[in-house]
Amino acid sequence: MGIGDDAAVLPAPDGRVVASTDLLVEDRHFRREWSSAREIGGKAAAQNMADIAAMGAVPTALLVGLAAPGDLPVAWALDMAAGMAEECARAGATVAGGDLSGAPLIMLTVTALGNLAGRAPVTRSGARPGDLVAVSGVLGHSAAGLALLRAGLSEPAGLVAAHRWPHPDYAAGPSAARLGATSMIDVSDGLAQDLGHLAEQSGVRIDVGSAQLPVSNTLRAAADALGKQDPLDWILAGGEDHALVATFPPVTALTGRWTVVGHVSDGQGVWVDLQRSERLSGWNHF
């Protein structure tokens, strides 16, 4: 039972429900002059469902709260909802309900729900020395797109689009769980910072090799356009690509969607090229 009653009713075939929530605030998480309503809705859905995938689960439904100024055009809200529905369709999920209220600026709260399909959840605390560290998805593209927008540039257009509306590979999460992933996280706040969460909660050290990180020619082009010295900064300290990074036992036969970028060892923290990186600080929510 979906929208139209006091509450939605959803099946839970596994007997468990994976749940995550995010809050998006205008001018903090998005700007209307940079992104269309459809893109904002799609991005809000994507970043929440990526958290579900990072647990090894399949996204099933979203609950959405929208607070907005009274003079916001109805067309904006409808376009936002259309973008959200479009991204849900990519993941096989649906918007099951929500609420509306007034506020001085636009605020979106999205709660995502998911199904583990009988599998154990893949948490942040299972990485073990000897494990491989692998990434599925692009890195640094959203941060580069944001830098281009801040500079008043619109090319490379693919990077700007990646910032406005990321398209996570939702199937990578359940796939990682089936491959035996020992830990996993959605890269929302920067690769180094998010790997730091895995390292801390697993009680291990994670080593990353910069030569193994996927630096695309598009990223290099953006760095040149902005006079930036090193696109690795976007990869290590950027965010909002919503790629997945996971650890796997060393004998795992990884599929083509995964790129090995490092390994797990005894110790603490995240190291890049055998040194504690100065580029560990990612997104700060405050």
Are 184 and 73 contained in the same domain? no
**Residues 136, 272: one domain?**
yes
Q: Cα–Cα–Cα angle for 94, 83, 17, nearest 5°?
A: 30
Residue 283 included in any domain: no
Question: Do the beta carbons of residue 269 and residue 205 sit within 8 Å?
Answer: yes
* Same structural domain, 53 and 158: no
For residue 50, the enclosing domain spans 18-115
List pLDDT tens digits, range 6-57.
999 999 999 999 999 999 999 999 999 999 999 999 999 999 999 999 999 9
Are 52 and 86 found together in one domain? yes
**pLDDT tens per residue, range 109-119:** 999 999 999 99
Q: pLDDT band for position 279 (50/70/90)?
A: low
Per the prediction, the chain carries an average pLDDT of 94
Task: Provide the percentage of residues in the chain whose pLDDT is more than 70.
Answer: 96
pLDDT in tens, 210-250: 999 989 999 999 999 999 778 999 999 998 999 999 999 99
Q: State whether 261 and 181 are in the same domain.
A: yes
Task: Look at residue 282 and tell me whether its pLDDT is greater than 90.
Answer: no
Report if residue 7 sits inside a domain.
Answer: no
Q: Does the pLDDT value for residue 278 go beyond 80? A: no
Category of 130 on φ-ψ map: left (φ > 0), alpha (ψ -120 to 50) or beta? left
Residues 146 and 270 in one domain: yes
Q: Are 282 and 189 in contact (CB under 8 A)?
A: yes
222 within some domain: yes
Same domain, 154 and 225: yes
Residue 228, in any domain of the structure? yes
Radius of gyration of the chain (CA): 19
Residues 200 and 105 in one domain: no
110 and 191 both lie in a single domain: no
Q: Are residues 204 and 171 in the same domain?
A: yes
pLDDT in tens, 163-221: 999 999 999 999 999 999 999 999 999 999 999 999 999 999 999 999 999 899 999 99
Report if residue 232 sits inside a domain.
Answer: yes
pLDDT of residue 101: 97
Residue after which a domain boundary falls, among 115, 150, 180: 115
* pTM of structure: 0.94
CATH of the domain at 207: 3.90.650.10
Regarding whether 257 and 137 lie in a shared domain, the answer is yes
pLDDT exceeds cutoff 90 at 61: yes
Asked whether residue 203 is domain-assigned, the answer is yes
> For residue 153, which of 209, 94, 210, 223 has the smallest C-alpha distance?
223
CATH number, domain containing residue 98: 3.30.1330.10
Residue 6 lies in a domain: no
- Average pLDDT rounded to a whole number, residues 239-265: 96
Q: Are strands 132-136 and 205-208 parallel, antiparallel or unpaired?
A: unpaired
Domain boundary among 63, 88, 115: 115
Phi first, then psi, for residue 92 (nearest 5°) are: 80, 25
How far apart CA 155 and CA 229 sit, in angstroms, is 18
Of 115, 148, 178, the position where a domain reaches its end is 115
CA-based nearest residue to 101, from 122, 77, 132: 77
Digit-coded pLDDT (tens) for 80-110: 999 999 999 999 999 999 999 999 999 999 9
Residue 280 has a pLDDT of 53
213 and 265 both lie in a single domain: yes
Does residue 194 form part of some domain?
Answer: yes
For the chain, the domain total comes to: 2
